[in-house]
Structure 1
Amino acid sequence: MYFREDGNPQGKPIVLVHGFACSLHWYDRVVPRLADDYRVIRVDLNGHGLTGGDQGLDPQDQTHSLAAVLDELDLTDAMVVGHSYGTDTALGVGAISARVSEIVIMSQSPDYSLAKLPRGHSLVGLPMVPQLVHHLTPDWVVWRVLRGGFRPGFDIGSGFDDPRQPLHDRAVMSRGMYRAVAQTRDLELRAEPLDARVYGIDKPVLAIHGRHDQFFDCEASITRYRAAGATVRVIENAGHTPNVETPDEVAALLREFLIAPRPL
């Protein structure tokens, strides 16, 4: 699993995990806002970015791969932040690794019952469909789907050093990720929704949502996470991707959560 380190080598570790069809570049604007005080580590999940490959794509496999990175780096007292598909990995590694002290989940409903995903999304898990989607979908269609992940009117390209970064990340993603997110993950969330995992974990959890998330029901999600015991924060001017749209607010919320008093 490819990873990148920035910031203060002596600082508390913050591990940033991206979502489906993304890469560590989706935190490019967040890192400089944390690097003065914290040791910031970003990963490319299996099947994504410079990690690549077609193995270890399901949420549980991603969790064990990330746990191995934490072991390799010998981290202690680490905060793990997961965005969208990466929330499963953040909660998973928090549950199995004593190296994790806080967990942040961002822009993910507890299960797909609260999803507002593009029509027919489940079909991409069928044989041969991912190859057709990857090879035949023109860029303008990809941009149209991507816009659903941001607040209305946000210039997606402005959130990246390379305005075409989202297209590059999708192009190099393993085709097997479609099945992992549309089928395997759906079954796992049905068996154990993320709010049930939050309730069952003995570590502080922060849930961040953008008010204008067009992929998941924000209000219903925050209600369920709050009931499960998570601290909940809503970014009013963000959509599904606050780490790209509102990096100042995301960094400020992470800092606030780290210094917040914990119940005895």
Structure 2
Amino acid sequence: MSARQQIGTITSIGGVDIHVREDGPPDAKAVVLIHGFASSMHWYDRVTLLLAEKFHVIRVDLLGHGLSTRDADLAPRSQARAIAPVLDKFGIRDAAVAGHSYGADVALALAEGSDLISELVIIGQAPDYSYSNLPPVDIALNLPFVPSLLHRLTPVAAIALLTQSGFAPGYRMDTAFDIRDQAVRDHLAMNPTMYKTVLPDRRKWLARRPLDEQLRDCGLPTLVIHGRQDQLYDWAKTEARYEAAGARVEVIDGAGHSPNVERPAAVARILGDFLSSAHTL
């Protein structure tokens, strides 16, 4: 599938534009895929090709990312409030929602605030930052000029190097996407306010209410997919916490923080098996 074929449609609701793409049979079980920080719907391109054989796959660009409205409130609940009416407009019901990295926060907010969601999937995201390897730059990012300055002055080579931490050590980034520099393009397209959103702001949000607590309160069948070679979060601690909260956890060998990109066949298989078993309960 070419890069041009991966473009969806722009849907305007509530004063914002959301870039949406549908694949697969429209009358099949719906699966909503939500990307993370500094990325786009293209981080699910290869997973989508596999899931669309059986499922109705809906992807979106989050606000501040890709082709969606760039200047908006980027917090998880605001993102969910923008996505929910889009799903409703498309007639999506009883959907599974999967969120990668920061997209996990949005997926949980969508599940809590909408009756459109029946299953939850968290990909590559720990419950909070208590054991993360994220850079300690929170104070600097709280200064109003720093995020935009950082975004404007960071060289492309440095962006590529930083992005590598989102994958397993030694993973070849040039094989990750159909467009070789997709990750850099997505980073450059992002609203720089996201730096503050995912580091100082999110650190505080998750300290108050971690994702494992949120999914326990949500009460939906939940799958967690994590990479054993994740460079940002310890997989064993992540597995233990989510299992204690009642989630099914699958750890993928050879994958880092982004198994949806690194091991799309494994993610599609695990997700498909989960949805099949969830419907037989």
Question: TM-score by structure 1 length?
Answer: 0.96
Q: SS of 2:91's equivalent?
A: coil
Q: Is the 8 A contact 2:102 2:125 kept in 1?
A: yes
Verify the 8 A CA contact 2:138 2:196 in the aligned structure 1.
no
Shift of 1:23: 0.2
Residue from 213, 228, 244 that aligns with 1:211:
228
**Aligned-pair CA distance for 1:233:** 0.5
Give the drift of 1:195: 0.5
Q: Deviations over 1:35-56 (max 9, x none)?
A: 1111111000000000032112
Please give the alpha-carbon distance, in whole angstroms, between the structure 2 residues aligned to 1:189 and 1:263. 33
Question: Which residue identity does 1:189 align to in structure 2?
Answer: L
Deviations 1:66-121 (A, max 9, x none): 21222111211101000000000111111121111100001111111121113425
- For the 8 Å contact 1:17–1:80, the answer to whether it is kept is yes
The residue number in structure 1 matching 2:196 is: 179
Query: 97-106 vs 174-183, which deviates more?
Result: 174-183
Partner of 2:184: 167
Q: Give the corresponding residue for 1:250.
A: 267
Q: Is 1:52–1:174's contact at 8 Å kept on the other side of the alignment?
A: no
Question: Which of the residues 141, 148, 153 maps onto 1:124?
Answer: 141
Q: Is the 8 A contact 1:151 1:213 kept in 2?
A: yes
Between the aligned partners of 1:227 and 1:2, the Cα distance in structure 2 is 36
Cα distance between partner residues in 1 of 2:241 and 2:278: 23
CA distance in 1, matches of 2:123, 2:207: 19
Q: Per the alignment, do residues 7 and 125 of structure 1 end up closer, same or farther by CA in structure 2, a change over 3 Å counting?
A: farther
Equivalent residue, structure 1, for 2:48 = 31
Among candidates 184, 189, 196, match of residue 213 of structure 2: 196
Partner Cα distance (1:263, 1:30) in 2:
23
Conserved in 1, the CA contact under 8 Å of 2:77 and 2:110?
no
How far 1:166 sits from its partner (Å)?
Answer: 0.7
Q: Is the 8 A contact 1:125 1:180 kept in 2?
A: no
- Tell me, yes or no, if the aligned pair for 1:126 and 1:179 is still in contact at 8 Å: no
Moved over 3 A (4+): 261-264
Structure 2 counterpart SS, 1:28: helix
How many Å separate the matches in 1 of 2:253 and 2:223?
A: 16
Structure 2's unaligned 5+ residue stretches are: 1-17
- 1:88 aligned residue (105, 115, 118): 105
Matched residues in 1 for 2:138 and 2:153: separation?
16
Tell me what 1:64 maps to.
Answer: 81
Comparing 151-160 and 76-85, the one that deviates more = 151-160
Secondary structure of the 1:15 match is strand
> 1:153 and 1:246, CA in 2 relative to 1: closer, same or farther beyond 3 A?
same
Distance 1:261 1:13 in 2: 14
Q: Spell out, residue by residue over 1:8-52, the C-alpha distance to the aligned partner (whole angstroms, 9 max, x if none).
A: 111111100000000000001111101111111100000000003
**Superposed displacement of residue 204, structure 1:** 0.3
The residue number in structure 2 matching 1:238 is 255
Q: Distance in 2 between matches of 1:123 and 1:72?
A: 40
Separation of aligned partners in 1, 2:26 and 2:159: 38
Q: Is the 8 A contact 2:138 2:200 kept in 1?
A: no
What is the CA deviation profile of residues 99-145 of structure 1, one whole-angstrom value per residue up to 9, with x for unaligned ones?
Answer: 11100001111111121113425533421111221121111211111
Structure 2: distance between partners of 1:164 and 1:121 = 28
Determine the structure 1 residue equivalent to 2:6.
none
